[in-house]
Chain A
Amino acid sequence: MTIEMSDIPIHHPVTASRVFSGQALVITPAANTVRMFNPTGSRIWKLVDGRRSVGEIIQTLMAEYTVDTEQATRTSLEFFAMLEEKQLIHWKKAPV
């Protein structure tokens, strides 16, 4: 699907996860897998709280990292697409 800036990512209900000292640990129990992300991916995972939109998450990253809008947007969207493909997140549309 095309990801819109107003879309709100949610941790997929099949996952279980925690962020330990900035390191996200994501378990997919039924698939018997454990995944870890690098610090930035872990930060995004923590920002995925079912309330923030993609745009808001990117804005937060830009405030925390030395990064321009183009790079932050491109790499964030790639990461969200990967999370969706691996069924680690799903989406809810922002209320109109």
Chain B
Amino acid sequence: MLTTTIPLFETVNATAPATTRDFPACDAEFSVGDAFDHLLGGFDQAHVPYMGLLELTHKCNLDCVMCYNVPLAQPELTTAEWLDVLEQMAEAGTLRLTLSGGEILTRRDFFTIAGHARTLDFALDLKTNATLITPESADRIAALQPVQVDISLLGASDSTFDAVAGSKNTFTRVLRGVQLLQARGVAVKLNTLLLNLNVHERSQMVDLARTLGVEYKHVVKLSRSDDGQEKAGNTQLSTDAITRVLEDNRADFAVQAPTAETRTCKVGLSSFLISPYGEIYPCQELRISAGNLRRQSFGSIWRDAPIFQELRSRHTYANFPECRVCPINAYCVGRCSGLAWKRDGNLYGADLTACAQAQAHYQQRNPGQLAPLTPLQAKQRRHYSANGNPA
């Protein structure tokens, strides 16, 4: 039926930077500013599974003290299974994929999977420790035309890096991998998880990134392992140290009191994670299975899984009893439901790292004033008063 008139075929939005649209880290801040953001907002509302993090394997050549992956005694998805999953995701509308591990380059079929993803028009981000990158694999990575390659920088010397990564000459090997990629024009971003093992080299890592001319980010969020164990408990920065790091950062942020409808992140709306075993989870932290791809289709899990339905309908301040009454919730930008859930099984609880971050923000905006305790911090203090502080 001929009902419409043909308009001019013009580009309605020129260009917008793509790397600002990372896989939604739980500390991300969101704003709707341009047509692209408007389109992304539409994905959230329509629940389009726009972005996926694929953990292709939990195998790794390093043994980092803070690694949260817990390899299971079951087979990882085969090449054929991953290729089928890619087809299903393309059909469902997924566009941005982050390929992660474990270490992606320990999979012999990595380039088969990644190449098929590009054939299906996915935009790829890669996460690697970079220690296995050779001139040949760097060529093949460059040929994938990734948006960005994220590499962990866990120290600015071999001794520090090795202490975190449980291997030898890791700093030297990572640096070589970074340079091999840069020589081929691949965009690299360095990420540091600050621990008490490497925080003393923080400024050197910043300087190194600046010298290399690459994007750099450090985070202080430390996760429990996927099985809930505090594997890296002793290496976690203290709350005071986290506060000092955040105060040093002094990045700009908005002070905005949340309403009952405010979400603390977009988990469950347009992004997901798939484990090497085919489990779909809402995100990297929130390991509540939505279903397994060996038993159900991607589309049915994304549409019908109870955890996704719950996150879409209930993940707002109205349902966060501690955060709702927090005296400094206007300064909070990083509450993570996954960390809250890992701490005590409460999806709607508070998250101590976010509490420390909110305090740092409060003190940044109110110099000389001591930040109030959050309800969770106050509860923890009462608990320690009654039972003794384990620290």
Q: Enumerate chain A residues within 8 angstroms of B146, measured Cβ to Cβ.
A: 29-30
Interchain CA distance A20-B96 in the complex, whole Å = 13
Let me know if A18 and B13 touch, CB within 8 A.
Answer: no
Given contacts A20-B48, A27-B18, contact A35 B7 (CB under 8 A): no
Cα of A22 to Cα of B61 in the assembled complex, Å? 44
Partner of B39 from A30, A36, A67 at Cβ < 8 Å: A36
CB-contact partner of A30 in B2, B48, B145, under 8 A: B145
| Cβ contacts under 8 Å, A33 to chain B | 15-18
Give A22-37 as 1s and 0s: 1 = Cβ < 8 Å from B's Cβ atoms: 0101010110111111
- Which residues of A (26-85) have their CB < 8 Å from a CB of B? 27, 29-30, 32-41, 44, 61, 64-67, 71-72, 75-76, 78-79, 82
Count, chain A residues at interface, CB 8 A: 37
> In the complex, what residues of A have CB within 8 A of residue B5's CB?
65-67
Q: Give complex CA distance A15, B19 in Å.
A: 15
Establish whether residues B123 and A27, one from each chain, have CB atoms under 8 Å apart when the complex forms: yes
Contact B48–A38 (Cβ < 8 Å): no
The answer to whether the Cβ of A95 comes within 8 Å of any Cβ in the partner chain is: no
Indicate whether A35 sits within 8 Å of B9 (C-beta atoms), given known contacts A11-B121, A29-B123, A29-B145. no
Residue A21 CB within 8 A of the other chain = yes
Q: Could you say which residues of chain A place their CB within 8 Å of the CB of B147?
A: 27, 29-30, 32
Contacts of B123 in A (CB 8 A): 16, 27, 29
A14 interface residue per 8 A CB criterion? yes
Distance in angstroms from A28 CB to nearest chain B CB is 8
Name the one of A29, A34, A36 contacting B124, with C-beta atoms under 8 angstroms: A29
Chain B residues near A78 (CB-CB < 8 A): 9
With a CB–CB cut-off of 8 A, which chain B residues contact A25? 36, 39, 95
Residues of B within 8 A of A67 (CB): 5-6
CB proximity of B318 to chain A, nearest CB, Å: 29
Subset of 28 A-B contacts with CB under 8 Å: A16-B124, A20-B42, A25-B36, A29-B18, A29-B124, A29-B146, A29-B147, A30-B147, A33-B15, A33-B17, A33-B18, A34-B17, A34-B36, A35-B14, A36-B13, A36-B35, A37-B11, A38-B7, A38-B11, A38-B12, A39-B7, A40-B8, A40-B9, A61-B6, A65-B4, A65-B5, A79-B9, A82-B9
Q: A32-B147, A34-B17 are in contact. List 19 more A-B contacts (CB 8 A).
A: A15-B121, A20-B42, A20-B48, A20-B93, A25-B95, A34-B16, A35-B14, A36-B39, A37-B9, A37-B12, A39-B7, A40-B6, A40-B8, A41-B11, A41-B12, A44-B9, A66-B2, A66-B4, A78-B9
**Interface set of B (CB-CB < 8 Å, partner A):** 2-19, 21, 35-36, 39, 42-43, 46, 48, 90, 93-96, 118, 121-124, 145-148, 185, 187
